[in-house]
Amino acid sequence: MEFSFTEEQRLMAETARKIAKDFPPDYWYEKEEAGEFGAEFWKAISEAGFLGIVIPEEYGGVGLGVSELMLVIQELCENGCGMAGNWYICLTEVFGAMPIVKYGTKEQKEKYLPKIASGELEFCMALTEPNAGTNTFRIETFAKKEGDGYRINGSKIFISGADRAKGMLLIARTTRPEDAPKKTHGITLFLVDLPNEAVKVSPIPKHGINYSKTCEVVIEDLWVPESAVLGEVDKGWFSLLDVLDPERLVFTVASVGIGKLAINYAVNYGNQRQVFSQPISSYQSLQHPLAEAYASLVSAELLAYKAGWLFDNDGHYREIGAVANMAKAVAVENATKAVYWAMQTLGGYGYSKEYHVERWWREINLVRLAPVTQQMALNYIAEHILGMPKSYS
């Protein structure tokens, strides 16, 4: 057994901490309020090589795995960036770089990877639809073979970063469910260049994470050449798992990071804040929930890195899925608890925007809904790990 990080991993974490200190909560407070992209932060993480962690060296990246990606993201989140430490990196590197590295043709790799690694190209993923969330097989966006390409129609919802991205991983059916020999058959991944007149993008006003826009995307008669297909036609489901598992993992460590950030913030505040004769942090009604949340977050963190290790070492997808879902469920439950009790510790200040906790509260609220709801993560544990019957179909 080996629990320690390597020297290089520790130095990477150190670089992430330094960047986080240069983009502290006050920076994100301003970006959030202005609804503005964190361009200065994007520049810093581009220069530090964070967008090319999983990209091979020959394409301008660092050639490492999801474990290093998680490590860097957690450090950013935990040391002051909150969800912003994960958000942009996930959209571009997990949704763009990862599937292209694994399934792209040489031409696709040459076209996209160097620009992703340098921070020149932002990405997004268009999967979710008004009638298809976790039930991915029900997506209705359809790509019909036409000449030496495909004609695509459909609509997507909650597509983060689509307003800025120049590249989109678009998931569509190429065979209708009724014609498919197997449930998992018929899904194809496409790489689409944006902006495109056939792709209409409209931001959706939302609860938090307003330093990035989340959009409705309507695709009307979009034509793409065959060379836009990523991986194999009709067999995109298994490639998609290689995006969805890392997505779950980076959101898990982001949750751990946000939870720890809120706890540290609450502890510092509570140690200073004297209401009656003692600092309020001496009260056990605040200590116990923060301590419980912290212990659980650290447990989820270990589980998450185990999942990352399995992913990087070609673990079986069922095992990765199991560990990733357990880590996600525990991390989010306890990050939510951590931010709740941080707000309780700060009292009225916790409700005031300048004290950041309310922003982290809005951020952590997303993770109980996406990338997968807490309930679906628990369903996965019940069905696939415990062997209980499926309650839905």
Partner 1 sequence: MKIAVFCKSVPDTETKVRLKGDRLDTSGIKYILNPYDEFAVEEAVRMKEAKKAEEIVAISMGPARAQEALRNALAIGADRAVLVTDDALDGSDTLATAKVLVKVLEKEGGDFDLLLFGQRAIDGDTWQVPSQVAALLDLPQATCTVALEVEPGSKAVATRLVEGGEEIHELTLPAVITCSKGLNEPRYPSLPNIMKAKKKPLTTYSLGDLGIDASEVGKNGSRTEVLSYELPPARGGGKKVEGEPEEVVAELVKFLKEEIKVI
Smallest distance, partner 1 to C-beta of residue 287, A: 17
Q: Which is nearer to partner 1, 14 or 33 (CB)?
A: 14
- Under the criterion CB under 8 A, does residue 15 sit at the interface with partner 1? yes
Determine the 3-state secondary structure of 24 from DSSP. coil
Q: Which stretch binds partner 1 (CB under 8 A): 12-20, 146-154, 188-196, 370-378?
A: 12-20
> What's the rounded Cα separation, in Å, for the pair 254 and 16?
13
Smallest distance, partner 1 to C-beta of residue 4, A: 12
- Under the criterion CB under 8 A, does residue 12 sit at the interface with partner 1? yes
> What's the rounded Cα separation, in Å, for the pair 198 and 179?
27
Residues 261/267/270/271 CA torsion (nearest 10 deg): -140
- Under the criterion CB under 8 A, does residue 89 sit at the interface with partner 1? no
Residue 382 identity (one-letter amino acid): A
- Under the criterion CB under 8 A, does residue 19 sit at the interface with partner 1? yes
- Under the criterion CB under 8 A, does residue 298 sit at the interface with partner 1? no
Residue 265's nearest CA partner among 196, 346, 333 is 346
- Under the criterion CB under 8 A, does residue 116 sit at the interface with partner 1? no
The residue within the footprint of partner 1, chosen from 14, 33, 36, 120 (CB under 8 A), is 14
Smallest distance, partner 1 to C-beta of residue 247, A: 21
Residue-level length of the chain: 393
What residues have CB less than 8 Å from 320, skipping those under 6 apart?
Answer: 245, 307, 310, 311
Smallest distance, partner 1 to C-beta of residue 141, A: 36
> What's the rounded Cα separation, in Å, for the pair 307 and 7?
21
Q: Which stretch binds partner 1 (CB under 8 A): 9-17, 32-40, 224-232, 383-391?
A: 9-17
Q: Which is nearer to partner 1, 133 or 308 (CB)?
A: 308
Smallest distance, partner 1 to C-beta of residue 39, A: 17
- Under the criterion CB under 8 A, does residue 10 sit at the interface with partner 1? yes
- Under the criterion CB under 8 A, does residue 8 sit at the interface with partner 1? yes
> Phi/psi at 157 (nearest 5 deg)?
-135, 155
Smallest distance, partner 1 to C-beta of residue 292, A: 21
> What's the rounded Cα separation, in Å, for the pair 63 and 54?
5
Smallest distance, partner 1 to C-beta of residue 10, A: 7
Smallest distance, partner 1 to C-beta of residue 11, A: 5
Q: Which is nearer to partner 1, 19 or 219 (CB)?
A: 19
Q: Which is nearer to partner 1, 44 or 139 (CB)?
A: 44
Q: Which stretch binds partner 1 (CB under 8 A): 13-21, 226-234, 244-252, 362-370?
A: 13-21
**Distance of CA 22 to CAs 12, 13, 26, 116, 334, Å?**
16, 14, 10, 23, 27
- Under the criterion CB under 8 A, does residue 266 sit at the interface with partner 1? no
Other CB atoms closer than 10 Å to residue 226's CB: what's the count?
11
Q: In the stretch 218-247, what mask flags binding to partner 1 with x, by CB under 8 A?
A: ------------------------------
Q: Which is nearer to partner 1, 64 or 170 (CB)?
A: 64
> What's the rounded Cα separation, in Å, for the pair 378 and 324?
11
Smallest distance, partner 1 to C-beta of residue 73, A: 13
**Distance of CA 285 to CAs 60, 67, 215, 282, Å?**
51, 36, 41, 9
| DSSP E strands, the chain | 123-126, 142-146, 149-160, 167-173, 187-193, 199-203, 214-225, 229-230
The residue within the footprint of partner 1, chosen from 11, 291, 295, 302 (CB under 8 A), is 11
The residue within the footprint of partner 1, chosen from 2, 7, 107, 178 (CB under 8 A), is 7
Which tokens sit at 31?
Answer: 């970006």
Please give the angle made by the CA atoms of 153, 189 and 199, to the nearest 5 degrees: 35
The residues in 23-82 that bind partner 1, with binding defined as CB under 8 A, are: 44, 47-50, 52-53, 57, 61-64, 68, 72
Q: Tell me the site size for partner 1, rule CB under 8 A.
A: 23
Residue 288 identity (one-letter amino acid): H
Residues 70/75/76/80 CA torsion (nearest 10 deg): 140
Q: Which residues bind partner 1 (CB under 8 A)?
A: 7-8, 10-12, 14-15, 18-19, 44, 47-50, 52-53, 57, 61-64, 68, 72
